[in-house]
């Protein structure tokens, strides 16, 4: 018997949930489908976990630190380790996405075509995770 699978939902550990929700929801247009109850902590008021969706793309965010344990500043070594994690998201209109991001203050080079037939637009989230919006070149 084969194992039936119907999707994949990455879970990213984030430093600041409110900052990450702003980026993914207000900048990229994801919606919050579900979240854990908000808590009041020394770091502020936030949920520790959220499930997001935009079109067919789903993503979970979880705080990297428990309440009261988040350091005052980001851990550069931890975030540097995120550099090898990439989320590739299908995006049929990369030029519109590029303009949308520019309107929200995110300066990026325009989409570029790869040698293997894809057009791609690369950016990073607040925690240093790589995002690549992509679509077939000429498609």
**Mean residue pLDDT across the chain:** 94
- Asked whether the predicted pLDDT for residue 139 surpasses 80, the reply is no
Mean pLDDT to the nearest integer, 58-87: 90
**Residue 6 has what pLDDT?**
87
- In the chain the beta strands, taken as DSSP E runs, fall at 11-14, 31-35, 38-41, 44-47, 49-54, 57-63, 86-90, 112-113, 118-124, 130-136
> All domains of the chain, ordered by start, with CATH?
1-67 (3.10.180.10), 83-139 (3.30.720.110)
**Residue 80 has what pLDDT?**
85
Mean pLDDT to the nearest integer, 46-66: 96
**Residue 1 has what pLDDT?**
75
Strand order from edge to edge, sheet including 11-14: 11-14, 57-63, 49-54, 31-35
**Residue 83 has what pLDDT?**
81
Share of the chain above pLDDT 70, in %: 99
**Residue 137 has what pLDDT?**
93
Largest CA distance in the chain: 51
**Residue 58 has what pLDDT?**
97
Q: Which of 16, 82, 17, 7 minimizes the C-alpha distance to 49?
A: 17
81 falls in which pLDDT band (50, 70, 90)? confident
- Asked whether the predicted pLDDT for residue 106 surpasses 80, the reply is yes
Task: Tell which wins on pLDDT, 118 or 82.
Answer: 118
Task: Give whole-number Cα distances, 3 to 6, 10, 22, 56, in Å.
Answer: 10, 19, 36, 21
User: Considering the entire predicted model, what is its pTM?
Assistant: 0.92
Lowest mean pLDDT among 44-53, 65-74, 117-126: 65-74
């Amino acid at each position: 018997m084969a194992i039936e699978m119907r999707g994949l939902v990455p879970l990213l550990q984030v430093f600041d949930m409110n900052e990450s929700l702003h980026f993914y929801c207000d900048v990229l247009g994801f919606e919050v489908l579900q979240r854990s109850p908000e808590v009041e902590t020394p770091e502020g008021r936030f949920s520790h976990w959220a499930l997001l969706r935009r079109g067919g793309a789903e993503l979970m965010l979880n705080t990297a630190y428990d309440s009261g344990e988040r350091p005052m500043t980001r851990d550069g070594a931890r975030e540097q380790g995120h550099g090898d994690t990439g989320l590739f998201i299908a995006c049929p209109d990369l030029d519109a996405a590029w303009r949308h991001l520019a309107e929200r203050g995110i300066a990026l080079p325009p989409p570029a075509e790869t040698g293997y037939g894809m057009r791609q637009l690369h950016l990073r989230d607040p925690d240093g995770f790589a995002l690549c919006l992509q679509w077939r070149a000429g498609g």
